[in-house]
Chain A
Amino acid sequence: MALFSQTSQLFFQALLRKCRMFWPVSRCQQLFAGFVNFSNREKVNYFHVMTSFSTALPVDSKGTGVFPTKKRSEIDYEEEKGWNENREIPEGKLYFSSSVGAPKKRLSQVLSRHRFTNVQPPEKPLQAAEWNRLKESFQSPEIFEEVMLNSMIRCNSPIDVAKSLLTHVAKSDGDIAYHLLIKYLALCVQQGQTSEIHDVYDIMKTRFKVLESGAYSLLIKGLSNSDQWRMALTLLEEVKQLMIPSRGSYESCIKAASRHQEMNLAFQLYCEMLAEDLVPTLDVLQGFFDFSRGMKGAELQNQLFGILLYLRENQIYPHKTFIWSIKLWFESIPGGNWRGHLTNIKDSGQCPVCNHQLEDSNLTEEEYKCLRERIIKDVIHGTDTFRKTSPQEFEAFQTFVENRLPFDIVIDGLNVSHIKPRKMQCENLFEAVNCLAKGNARLLVLGRKHMLSNSPNWKREVMKEMQNKADFFFAENISEDDTFLLYATLRSGKHCKFVTRDFLRDHKACLSDSVTRHLFRKWQRGHQIVISSSGEGKRLKFLPALRYDCVVQTTGDTWHIPYKDTFDEKYSYEVPRKWLCIQQK
């Protein structure tokens, strides 16, 4: 907010413009800047305030991160356009940041640091007197050193400047506070100054009984990139005495070990990490494939196959650079004769390169039963049956389904009825039912009682017409009909599909353990038919359920690995369409 209303501002500007012959421009702008509250500078567009000192630095919006946030690959996010669409992205230079995303925000002091982003650290080491002068002119001297070191980290200043500041602090206070040491350490790690890292570590060790997690992870990160990477391992052991090391620390150590071809050590750390329930980043996994390229050994090969199976179990899809690492590793196995090709799999589930038929997406009887029970227990009943339905209603629904088994297609009536917003809801539903009823399929439509009330959106005649073609079940208006959809489909068996545009994320979230959640996703991929309406008046289009299962799979002499184009996590309901096919000649 400027202090003046617009008009008076304009008047003022006019005045200023006239006065230019008397005052140098910069000065009158600065004068004017006095009127404008800086905190909301972006809202004042009348002129740009530039002082001779504040060189416009890129303001780090994360502000508090110790390391400058790395750029993510610049990919425009599209809206969720649909289901497993093959999104072609212009293949620019993909630069992947390590450890999925930027460093976490640190809990910082309560002060808002972005206020100080325009502090420019000096270029050269300063004398104590000069530091003093700077400090006195700073608006809040008590945090001057911290702010200064932060901005040094941000601008990646030479460490000599930071050293001169520390010297000044040490001489004036006789001690350096821990948080300043940490910041200095971060600067050294950023620039890979190994000897300095050692010195700081020695000082810290003698000065403090224990160190805290932040310092340890910085030290490990710094040392693992140097030739004294074994020291990082000893530090990791030290951290284990106190707490569970962060996955970042493990990552640094594993990378260091595999960089120096100590594969056994790396795998040992990797297993430890998994035992601690830490999720390894794709970066680490990729590192394994990169560094074991061309190495011999059945043991090693099995370890890497183990990683691929880990991807399978957790339904993780590698990204493009990772898939290249995998491909190159396979092709580099001495005497392995592996060949890899990037390909798209046909809808039939046949690989066009090796004509291998991929695994189908059906669950076993056992899995069906388990999933059905879990859906009833966790999703339908949950903590309180009344939250989504009522016991009487669920009872009634169960008997209704048992008497009419088996269905071929179960339709979420309300969801389908909203496909074309311009049309009446009952017409939409009617169209969908007609389309699906062609092959003499037994249909079940789930709805709510208000559909029977003969409103303009729900014409009674149309509803009557529909009920000749399909079975209908109407739930109470305040009940959740989706859960019934899941139950009916699962109860009907493996040939039964369901129709909804819903992604069922909230229902998946109700399931309490990840194994069942993965099972649910697998079942959903194989049994959900999605309707897409392409514009007004056109026919409905059905995207059929996937016939094959989209996970890493092997037959011993072939591997098929699905991958995604981008590094960013896809939504869990989207499945990639691109595959890496690897076969042994």
Chain B
Amino acid sequence: MQSANMLLKKIVKSSVLPFAAQHGMKKDFFLLTRTLSLSPCLKQDNSCNPTEKLDLDAWKKVMKSGLQEEVSEMVSEHKELSTLTAAREILEMWRLAGRLVPESISEEQLKTFMECPSKSAKKKYLKYLHLKELHKKNEIRKMEEKRERRLKTQEQGSKPNETKRNSFMCLWANGMDRAYSWRVAQSMVFGQPLVFDMSYEKDMSIREVANTVRQIVFSEGCNRKSADPFHIHFCNLKDDSLYHREFIRHYSKAWDKLLVTVTEQCYTEIFPKEKLIYLTADSPKVMKTFDHDKIYIIGSMVDKSIKTGVSLARAKRLGLETAALPLEKYLLWNTGAKNLTLDQMMHILLTLKDTGDWKKALEFVPKRKYCGFVSKPVHELKKTLNLINTLKLGKRQEEVGKQFAKNYSKKLTQK
């Protein structure tokens, strides 16, 4: 017994604290200690009555005393305020009240804020600005930390330069760039075309267009780095459209040197119709294999409010073949919409092109959206589903079994 006691003490002394500290349990551990330390304090209050009488309204005096000079300032101020400054003041007050409001706001943003049609739109916009500001601040902080670290290491490691014998000059990044560019240039001549359809500008808000362009920039980047790149076409891209302006903002000078084909023409004018396949999540047809002779089209659209059937409608209008990724077939879908981002699509298509392996390709679907890969038809997966449900719902096996039986009996009888 005593030994057990000792053991316990030992464990507690030796392992818990460092362990807790390591694993970020510190908070919880100290929460406990806090509550413990509070309780005697409270008990004390009850036990010893404070002898001196508390002046409860002292705070009002303090608040009012510091006001004299401010009042004089106030009087000198002009009463008439322009709407912009009034808006600024309100934002400032909201910030003081603890709402999610950016600390500094530019004139342009302020105008956008004033033009928001509803209260909730205003709130959302402010929250967006606030988060953006936070990200920026964090980035700056990290950069500074990095610089400090670098300076430190330089001070420590300022050894006499050893002449390194190396047959390569230190121009890796540059060299890599050049190698990638060669590959993409080759694909521009011999590669399989991949079309981004840029005709959805009118269906999107300004922010959605910005997001779309960002995703395309990502896609273009990963295409450039792949072993066998696509020949990317931006079709229906009008000059001086929102898309175009966003592209210029992202690529600046590099836009004109980009190894992609940019055209105002529609893909139906460039390629034969029977070769085109429009990829859309709403398509009734499911893609079975990746076809190296076909030209796939991706609609450049971010639809936060999921607009079903927009790209399918476009394909119907032009009389093109459509296809959807076989997400249902290979993944146990969990949650979320089946429309993927453009860079995810790009990754998936590149992987399919290189390997033809669906399992590998669909790794790029966000993990939160599915529970696992399916190698057999669903009714053979009873056990797995049970397990998943158990994990997900935290229920006991039998209960889930009953539920499962209820839910799937229909399906089983049909199959």
Contacts and interface: CB of A to CB of B under 8 A. Distances in A.
Interface of A: 3, 15-16, 18-19, 21-23, 30-31, 33-39, 43, 51-54, 106-110, 118, 120, 122-127, 130, 133-134, 137-139, 146, 160, 163-164, 166-167, 169-171, 174-179, 182, 199, 203, 206-215, 242-243, 383-388, 390, 421, 477-478
Contact of A179 (B28, B70, B86, B98): B98
A179 B41 contact: no
Nearest to B25: A37
B271 interface: no
A387 B313 contact: yes
B59 A169 contact: yes
Given A167-B58, A209-B74, A178 B32 contact: no
Interface in B112-165: 123, 127
- Which one of B23, B39, B60, B203 has the greatest number of beta carbons of chain A within 10 Å? B60
B4 A18 contact: yes
Contact of A207 (B50, B63, B99): B63
A386 B316 contact: yes
B54 A125 contact: yes
Contact of A212 (B5, B55, B93): B93
A169 B58 CA distance: 10
A387 B310 contact: yes
B89 A15 contact: no
Interface in B154-208: 203
Contacts of A125: 54, 56
A386 B317 contact: yes
A164 B98 CA distance: 22
20 contacts: A15-B8, A34-B29, A35-B16, A107-B99, A120-B42, A122-B42, A123-B45, A125-B56, A139-B31, A163-B56, A164-B56, A176-B59, A177-B96, A178-B93, A178-B97, A209-B74, A212-B97, A384-B310, A386-B312, A387-B310
User: Which size bracket describes the interface of B in this complex?
Assistant: 35 or more
Contacts of A22: 1, 5
Contact of A52 (B25, B36, B312): B36
A383 B410 contact: no
B38 A53 contact: yes
A54 B74 CA distance: 47
Interface in B9-52: 12, 16, 19-20, 23, 25, 27-32, 34-39, 41-42, 45-46, 50, 52
B13 to A, nearest CB: 11
- Which one of A107, A122, A171 has the greatest number of beta carbons of chain B within 10 Å? A107
A15 B6 CA distance: 11
Contacts of B393: none
A31 B37 CA distance: 15
Contacts of A164: 54, 56
B189 to A, nearest CB: 36
B96 A178 contact: yes
B150 to A, nearest CB: 30
Contact of A387 (B45, B94, B309): B309
Interface string B308-343: 111011101100000000000000000000000000
A37 to B, nearest CB: 6
B70 A137 contact: no
Contacts of A34: 12, 16, 20, 29, 32
B262 interface: no
Contact of A176 (B1, B63, B284): B63
Interface string B228-257: 000000000000000000000000000000
A281 to B, nearest CB: 17
B272 interface: no
Contacts of A174: 62, 66
B90 interface: yes
Given A21-B1, A127-B52, A212-B96, 4 more contacts: A107-B98, A170-B59, A385-B313, A387-B312
A215 B71 contact: no
Nearest to B37: A137
Nearest to A39: B28
Contacts of A199: 60
Contacts of A385: 313
A386 B394 contact: no
B32 A126 contact: no
A130 B316 contact: no
A130 B45 contact: yes
B1 A19 contact: yes
Contact of B90 (A19, A139, A166, A210): A210
Contact of A167 (B25, B54, B77, B309): B54
Contact of B19 (A3, A122, A139): A3
Interface in B61-104: 62-64, 66-67, 70-71, 74, 77, 86, 89-90, 93-94, 96-100
Shortest 6 CB-CB distances between A and B: which pairs?
A: A386-B313, A178-B96, A212-B93, A170-B59, A170-B62, A163-B56
- Which one of B45, B58, B59 has the greatest number of beta carbons of chain A within 10 Å? B59
B29 A133 contact: no
Contacts of B52: 127
Nearest to A106: B99
A146 B96 CA distance: 13
A171 B98 CA distance: 22
B64 A206 contact: yes
Contact of B312 (A54, A139, A214, A478): A478
A99 to B, nearest CB: 15
Nearest to A16: B8
Contacts of A122: 42, 45
B108 interface: no
A388 B30 contact: no
Contact of B63 (A15, A203, A212): A203
B57 A163 contact: yes
B385 to A, nearest CB: 21
B12 A242 contact: no
A120 B46 CA distance: 14
A43 B394 contact: yes
Contacts of A21: 1
A19 B25 contact: no
Contacts of B60: 199, 203
B98 A108 contact: yes
A478 B284 contact: yes
Nearest to A210: B89
A139 B30 contact: yes
Given A34-B20, A108-B98, A167 B90 contact: no
A206 B68 CA distance: 9
Contacts of A388: 309
B31 to A, nearest CB: 6
Nearest to B68: A206
Contact of B34 (A138, A212, A387, A478): A138
Interface string B373-406: 0000000000000000000001000000000000
Contacts of A120: 42
A30 B67 contact: no
B8 A19 contact: yes
Contacts of A137: 34, 37-38, 41
A124 B56 contact: no
B59 A167 contact: yes
Contacts of B42: 53, 120, 122
Contacts of B314: 384, 386
A243 B86 CA distance: 10
Contact of B50 (A127, A167, A478): A127
Given A179-B96, A242-B90, A203 B28 contact: no
Given A125-B54, A214-B97, A386-B317, A139 B63 contact: no
A124 B77 CA distance: 43
B28 A38 contact: yes
A31 B15 CA distance: 12
Nearest to A129: B50
Contacts of B284: 477-478
B68 to A, nearest CB: 10
Nearest to B29: A34
A210 B57 contact: no
